[in-house]
Chains A and B, each alone.
Chain A
Amino acid sequence: MNNIVEILLVEDNPDDAELTIRALKKHNLANNLLHLQDGEEALDFIFSSEPNSLPKIILLDIKMPKVDGIEVLRKIKSDENRRIIPIVVLTSSKEERDIIETYKLGVNAYIVKPVEFEKFVSAVSEIGFFWLILNQPPIK
């Protein structure tokens, strides 16, 4: 049971990843977290997982080498079995075109990472709290 990944963090910047994980840990939300470094790894992971053992939430960075977050989002949201996974884009970019495009592709939330650590911590923990505890997912 504990082997099932609850949070999939796809983030190429190890510092951002560490800060994110740290923020989630503070609120005890990082127990079943998997951190992957780029979009290719993320897609490999998602598409090799059994449909009944998909993560509860994917935290997705946009700007990544090889396969970027937009592409990951498109692939997952266009797959019949995997489109149900909630995906939250967590990115530095506030570009309108990214916001619009990700929403068109079916993103569940778009969060701009605040520069200030406190705000960052509170943003990330709220995301974890909302999607892991408050939200009722379709997956059993």
Chain B
Amino acid sequence: MKLYIQQRVIAGFLLAIAIISALAVYSYLNNKRSIRESFLVSHSNEVLYHIEQVWSITANLESAQRAYTITGNEVFVQPYKESSREVHQHLDDLKSLIADNAYQYERFLILRKLIDEKLLFNQKLLDTRQKNFEEAQTIHASLEGKTLMDKIYTVIADMQEHEKMLLRQRTEQREQGIQNFNWAYVALLSATASLLVFVFIAINKNLKARFQAEESAKEAASRIQDIYDNAPCGYHSLDATGMVTEMNKTWLDWLGYDRSEIINRVRFSDILAPGNIELFKSRFETFKTQGFVRDLEFDIIRKDKTTFPILLNATAVYDENGNFQKSRSMAIDYSQRREANLRIMALNQELEAFTYSVSHDLRAPLRSIDGYARILSEDYMDKFDAEGKRVLNIVVNNARKMGQLIDDLLEFSRVGRKEIIKGVVDMSKLAQYASEELLFNESGRKIDLKIDTLEVATGDAHLLRQVWINTISNAIKYTSRKEHTLIEITSQSNAFETIYCIKDNGAGFDMQYVHKLFGVFQRLHRAQDFQGTGVGLAIVHRIISRHGGKVWAEGKVDEGASFYFSLPKSTQTSKLPL
């Protein structure tokens, strides 16, 4: 048996029980003693009674004897005979009563002897009186009888005194016992009462604490229930068969159903749009073993037959044997987000149409400008003077520059829109291939490019290749004025991310403009020093951002630059195009 009572309460109870038991035992013993003492008291009274009787009968005998002696009337003989029989009767009784009391018994023997003597004396007197009155008178006058009576009285008085003393003692003892018992009884009962009061207080305190705990538990439960019911998202649980076993109020309100219409009556597939049912069934089976699902989109049918989209996330609950028990599912009303997504898709399409036409329509006239300027310079060179040639060159150069700008801008836009297809990417190989490709065009330069064994990354290989191309070409470009180019590519990782670094000994940059490095068309060097459109690092920034990573750089003018980008190790990234 499990005990929920406090130790002191148990102790109090045990003590009370012990006291009551002791009281019972004490009461029983006291009762026994009291009975014995009462017996002794009544015994003493009996003894006194018999002593009294013996004396009074003896006195009667004396009177009867005297009366006869004086009168000689036979009428006194009869009572005398009766009394002498009676006195023996009482003596016998007395003997049995005081047999255990040596003092009294001793006196009793004397008394009996004296009474016997007295009876003999009386008999002698009676006999003598029958014959001769004077002779009897003489005997009487001898005062023998009186002496005997005095002796008897003395013994009787002694015995009475002794017995009374005993009686007094016994009565006192009995009263003392009763008083003692009463005191003890009251004391123990008071102790028990106090204990019970203590126990009562302790139990009350305990119950109060329990009641308060229950109250706060109830309050906490209702708070949690409120969060569950009124959270701004839907919560539900499904059992292994897909039956809805729990559902919060928000969900029910979305659906327009009553709790009683759903719980244990409807399977989740019953509220799905027909096109979603098969998808749900197959995903639910996987979910039961996999333990979670993330961001599944479903169309839900309300009670009024209208539909709305939700985004479903769930984790599985298993019992101790690892069997699927139920789901903890959370649904988000996806209507607005879906609309926003559709808007984004529409905007993207618009953007795509725009870039498409930019790509096509802006390039064509540029090509004509460049082409015809070239025809001019090829076919009509003799007709131009030096200034004419210079101007023509400017036209050609600008046409080309604009062509490059358009190409870069389109690439920048493409990188933002392209769907990221993730996989494990061997960054060492990717950097190796990119640098080989880039160094192929730099055969005249002395370039020392070292690539460490790089950490693998999770990402889109095609886009990450672009990152390497842009960063390495950047390093090659800005080291072009150094006699001996040194480029080092390294990586390091922690639990969350891997950081890649491309370090060069080139022109570097002023750290106060570092914020401009990764912006579109932002350049920290003049075109005549280093050519470029200012899009390469912006593309790097965009690709890394879309992978959930960061880019940054450190540098010092003429002392080289280090470009860093980080890629997270988790697979979570934005699904929406940037």
| Interface residues in chain A, defined as those with a beta carbon under 8 Å from any beta carbon in chain B | 13, 15-16, 19, 22, 62-63, 91-96, 113-118, 120
Are A93 and B359 in contact, with the CB atoms below 8 A? yes
Are A94 and B375 in contact, with the CB atoms below 8 A? no
Are B360 and A93 in contact, with the CB atoms below 8 A? yes
Are A92 and B364 in contact, with the CB atoms below 8 A? yes
Q: What are the residues of chain B within 8 A of A19 when measuring CB–CB?
A: 367-368, 371-372
Q: What are the residues of chain A within 8 A of B404 when measuring CB–CB?
A: 115
A114 to B406, CA, bound (A): 12
Q: A22-B375, A94-B410 are in contact. Are A117 and B360 (CB under 8 A)?
A: no
Q: A13-B364, A16-B364, A22-B375 are in contact. Are A116 and B370 (CB under 8 A)?
A: yes
Q: What are the residues of chain B within 8 A of A16 when measuring CB–CB?
A: 364, 367-368
Are B360 and A120 in contact, with the CB atoms below 8 A? no
Are A116 and B364 in contact, with the CB atoms below 8 A? no
> In the assembled complex, how far is the CB of residue B366 from the closest CB belonging to chain A, in whole angstroms?
5
A15 to B373, CA, bound (A): 12
Q: Report B361-390 residues with CB < 8 Å from chain A CB.
A: 361, 363-368, 370-375
Closest to A91 in B: B360
Which of A92, A113, A115 has the largest number of chain B CB atoms within 10 A? A115
A19 to B367, CA, bound (A): 9
Q: What are the residues of chain A within 8 A of B363 when measuring CB–CB?
A: 92, 113, 115
Are A15 and B360 in contact, with the CB atoms below 8 A? no
> In the assembled complex, how far is the CB of residue B352 from the closest CB belonging to chain A, in whole angstroms?
8
Are A116 and B400 in contact, with the CB atoms below 8 A? yes
A38 to B127, CA, bound (A): 191
B399 within 8 A of A: yes
- A sample of 22 inter-chain contacts (CB < 8 A) reads A13-B364, A16-B364, A16-B367, A16-B368, A19-B367, A19-B371, A62-B360, A63-B360, A63-B361, A92-B359, A92-B363, A92-B364, A93-B359, A94-B407, A95-B356, A113-B363, A115-B400, A115-B403, A117-B371, A117-B373, A117-B375, A120-B371
Q: What are the residues of chain A within 8 A of B410 when measuring CB–CB?
A: 94
A117 to B392, CA, bound (A): 14
How many of B's residues come within 8 Å of A, CB to CB?
A: 23
A110 to B427, CA, bound (A): 31
Q: A19-B368, A92-B367 are in contact. Are A118 and B359 (CB under 8 A)?
A: no
Q: Report B51-101 residues with CB < 8 Å from chain A CB.
A: none
> In the assembled complex, how far is the CB of residue B24 from the closest CB belonging to chain A, in whole angstroms?
103
A113 to B363, CA, bound (A): 9
Closest to B362 in A: A92
Closest to B366 in A: A115
Q: A91-B360, A94-B359 are in contact. Are A118 and B366 (CB under 8 A)?
A: no
Q: What are the residues of chain B within 8 A of A114 when measuring CB–CB?
A: 367
Are B372 and A15 in contact, with the CB atoms below 8 A? yes
Which of B356, B371, B374 interacts with A15 by CB under 8 Å? B371
5 further A-B pairs in the complex, CB-CB below 8 A; given A19-B368, A115-B403: A13-B368, A15-B365, A92-B363, A95-B356, A114-B367
Q: What are the residues of chain B within 8 A of A15 when measuring CB–CB?
A: 364-365, 367-368, 371-372
A117 to B367, CA, bound (A): 7
Closest to A112 in B: B363
Closest to A12 in B: B364
Are B399 and A118 in contact, with the CB atoms below 8 A? no
Mask, B237-273, CB within 8 Å of A = 1, is 0000000000000000000000000000000000000
Q: What are the residues of chain A within 8 A of B366 when measuring CB–CB?
A: 115
> In the assembled complex, how far is the CB of residue A119 from the closest CB belonging to chain B, in whole angstroms?
10
A95 to B374, CA, bound (A): 27
Are A118 and B374 in contact, with the CB atoms below 8 A? yes
Are A120 and B367 in contact, with the CB atoms below 8 A? yes
Are B359 and A117 in contact, with the CB atoms below 8 A? no
A83 to B363, CA, bound (A): 30
Are B374 and A117 in contact, with the CB atoms below 8 A? yes
Q: What are the residues of chain B within 8 A of A95 when measuring CB–CB?
A: 356, 359
Are B374 and A115 in contact, with the CB atoms below 8 A? no
A118 to B403, CA, bound (A): 14
